[in-house]
Structures are given as structure tokens and as C-alpha cells.
Amino acid sequence: MKNLLRVKVLISFIIAFLLIFPTITHAQKQKIKVMVRDASIRIQPNIDSEIILTPLVGSIFEVEKKIGEWYEIKFSSETGVLITGYIHELFVEVESEIVRPRQEIIPEPVKTEPEYQPQEEARPRGQSRVSLKGGGIFTLIPELYSFDYSFPYRGETFYMWDSVDKNNAFGYEVGLGIYPIPYIEFEGTVTIFSKELTGYYGIDLPSEYYFALSASDEVEAYPTFQKTTFCFGLLIHPVVTGSIRLYFGGGGSYVMGNLEMVDDIISSEIDEQLIPLHEVTITEVQFVETNDLEDVNLSKFGFYGKTGIDFMASENIALYIEGKYVFAKVKEVPYYMLSDLDPTAIIEEIDLGGIFFSIGLKLIF
């Protein structure tokens, strides 16, 4: 009985040892820590074998055993499969003790003083600002008008035509702006220019003789056009800080024009029945200024739209570039040369508008 009891006790100790031994072995396994950025875990313990994983610096693995200069380790793949690999001892260092999970210590953020940046001086609410500006303009002048006229003459029809072509001109601009708040500006501007335009003047004159053909001639002449444009409107400034500030807006306009209109077309005529020969030559086109005519008024209310950019050199000085379109057309203007002959002879409309580009200096107070 005693021998049987001893055998049972011995068997119990063996079973207990077998159950505890793996735990003890596992607890006493070496830990290695990856210390090199380009470390690699290979499928065999040699440098020529396939790389199966490139671990991150600081990764920790349990060592199963060491084969020469290689550590055999096991790790789980993304799908949960247990993989055996080998890593060279040059890539790791042995942990001196069992690595226990440590609570990550999150350092408190270091409070740093923000870098000092000079701020624009804030103006008291309700305090207005005023701007003065001046500069040069370049304007695209549309075709002012085109006029055709005919009437019975010598038993046939006499024709005449007159048109002033589109052109361009340089001038100057001055303006005043009031800012009740930084985003809003009420502006008033005046633009002035004077330019000799290109006009085309022609006649088609019937012959005195029944069997002769009519004769015609056309010449170029250069009437002077002067225009003063007043604009009063509202501008929106969506950007009020920084060195580049866009704005746009529009309003009403009043255009005062002075155009040299035809006073007389002087021509010479050769009309021979026997040859036969019929020629007409315009020798001179005479003009009269509309400012000297009581019945011709080239002033018109209209409207305009504009956009521009301020390039701020400082808070008080800016270089501005603008584009502006003015719409203003005068309807039914009497044709002065024919006013005595036919009061119904009129130019249907004269276009006093146009496109303006301006550049200049702006002072803000």
C-alpha cells in the first residue's frame, strides 16, 4: 500500500510539473527589441532568404531559440496565422527583464508663447475713412454713330453717308472715396480725355444729264471728340486685410461729350455730256463743335460697373488697377449739316459709353 501511495504522489508531481513547466518556460523566454530602422525578418536563418516582414523600430518579440547569429521568433500575421521567422542579432538588443505592458505616458503639451505679430490698429467702430486717388486711363471708344441719308435730286436720288469709327485714347482720372465701414465704399470719380477720331464721309451725286451715271467719292476726316465722365456708386471690398485687396461695384454715371460734327462737305464736280464724263471729288469736310450748337446736346445719364485691385504699400498708400464699363447712349441727335434742309434728318444714337482701364495712386486717411 505504501508503495502504491508513493507512486501516486510521484505521478501527481510529474503531472503538476508538466502543467506548470510551459508557463515557467514562457515567462522566462528572452525578449528582443528591434533597434534598426531597416531590420528584416526572414523565412530562413540566412541573409539570402526571403524577407517576410520589416518590423518597426521598437517592436518587441519573444525568442523561441537562437541559431548561431539568428533569433527564431514567432508572430501573428494580419489574418491571425502564427508565422515563424528569423532576425539577425545585429538588428536587435536583448531585453534584460520581462517586458510588461506599460501605460503610455502622454506628456503635457508645452505651452509656448505665440510669436508676436504686429496687428493692424483697429479703428473705433463707426469711424469713417476717406480716400483720394488719381491716375491715368486708357479707354476703348466704340463706334460713335453711323448715318445714311438720301433725297431726290436732279430727277434721281442723292446719297450721303457719315460714320465715326471706333478708336482708343489716353486720359486721366481723379476720385474721392468714403468708407463708412471697412467693407463699403461710396465713390465719386471724374475721367477726362480728348482724341481725334477717324470719320468717313461720302456722297453719291446724280448727273445733270439723263444718260450719264452718278458719281461718288468718300474721304477720311478727323473730328475731335472730348468726353468727361462722372461716376457715383457703391463699391464692395470683400478683402480688407493683406497686401492685395479686390473690390467691385457700380452705380450711376453722367457723360458730357463734345464732338465735331459735319458743318459742310465741299466737293467739285465734272459732268460732261459729250465725252461722257461724270466725276465728283470731296475737297474738304468742315466741322463745328457740338458745344457751339444750341440744338445738339451730347450729355447723357447712364450707369457703370467696375472691378479693381488695391496693391497696398501700407495701410495708407496703395497702387490701384481698375476696369470699368460705362453705358450711355444719346438718342435721336439732329444732323447739323441738314438741319435747315430737312429738320427730320437725325442720327439715331451716339454711343458715349466705353471701356476704361485705369492705374494710379490711392491715399487713404
The 10s digit of each residue's pLDDT in 221-244 is 999 999 999 999 999 999 999 999
- CA gap 246, 320 in Å, rounded: 10
Mean pLDDT check: name the lowest of 2-16, 198-212, 302-316, 342-356.
2-16
Q: What is the CA radius of gyration of the chain?
A: 48
Average pLDDT over residues 40-49: 86
Domain ranges of the chain: 28-95, 129-364
pTM of the predicted model over 0.85: no
**Averaged over 341-354, what is the pLDDT?**
93
Kindly report, residue by residue over 164-179, the tens digit of the pLDDT: 999 999 999 999 999 9
Q: Which CATH class is domain 129-364?
A: mainly beta
pLDDT, average across residues 184-209: 96
Q: Are 157 and 150 in contact (CB under 8 A)?
A: yes
In whole angstroms, what is the distance from residue 222 CA to residue 347 CA?
Answer: 18
pLDDT greater than 70 at residue 112: no
DSSP structure string for 61-103? EEEEEEETTEEEEEEE-TTS-EEEEEEEGGGEEEESSPPPP-P
> Closest by alpha carbon to 141, among 218, 219, 229?
229
In whole angstroms, give the CA distance from residue 191 to residue 197: 18
Q: What pLDDT was estimated at residue 81?
A: 77
- Can you give the pLDDT at residue 74? 84
Structure confidence at residue 56 as a pLDDT band (50, 70, 90): confident
- Per-chain mean pLDDT for the chain: 85
3-state secondary structure of 314: coil
Identical fold for domains 28-95 and 129-364, yes or no, is: no
Q: What is the mean pLDDT of residues 91-108?
A: 58
Question: Which is more confidently placed, 144 or 57?
Answer: 144
Contacts of 130 (CB under 8 A, 6+ apart): 176, 177, 178, 179, 364, 365
Q: 26: phi > 0 → left, psi -120 to 50 → alpha, else beta; which?
A: alpha
How far is it, in rounded angstroms, from Cα 231 to Cα 210? 58
- In this predicted structure, which of 95-104, 256-265, 303-312, 350-359 has the lowest mean pLDDT? 95-104
- Is CATH 3.90.1150.10 what the domain over 28-95 is classified as, yes or no? no
* DSSP annotation string for 107-159: PPPPP-PPPP-PPPPPPPTT--EEEEEEEEEEEEEPP-EEEEEEEEETTEEEE
What pairing do the DSSP bridges indicate for beta strands 70-76 and 60-67? antiparallel
Dist. CA 225–CA 346, nearest whole Å = 19
> Rounded to whole angstroms, how far apart are CA atoms 344 and 98?
113
In angstroms, what CA-CA distances link 158 with 138, 214, 277, 341?
40, 9, 18, 13
Looking at residue 25, its pLDDT comes to 47
* pLDDT band at 339; cut points 50, 70, 90: confident
Predicted local confidence at residue 328, as pLDDT? 97
Mean pLDDT of all residues in 78-99: 76
Residue pair 145/330 in contact by the 8 Å Cβ criterion: no
pLDDT of residue 248 exceeding 60:
yes
Q: Write down the pLDDT at residue 163.
A: 96
Per residue in 4-42, pLDDT (tens digit) is 545 454 565 555 555 544 444 444 578 888 887 778 888
- What is the percent of the chain where pLDDT is above 70? 83
Residue 103, pLDDT above cutoff 50? no
Among candidate residues 86, 232, 233, 225, the one with its CA nearest the CA of residue 164: 225
Q: How far apart are CA 325 and CA 250, in angstroms?
A: 9
Is the model more confident about 112 or about 180? 180
129 strand-pairing partners: 179
266 strand-pairing partners: 284
pLDDT number for residue 99: 45
- Is it the case that residue 124 has pLDDT exceeding 90? no
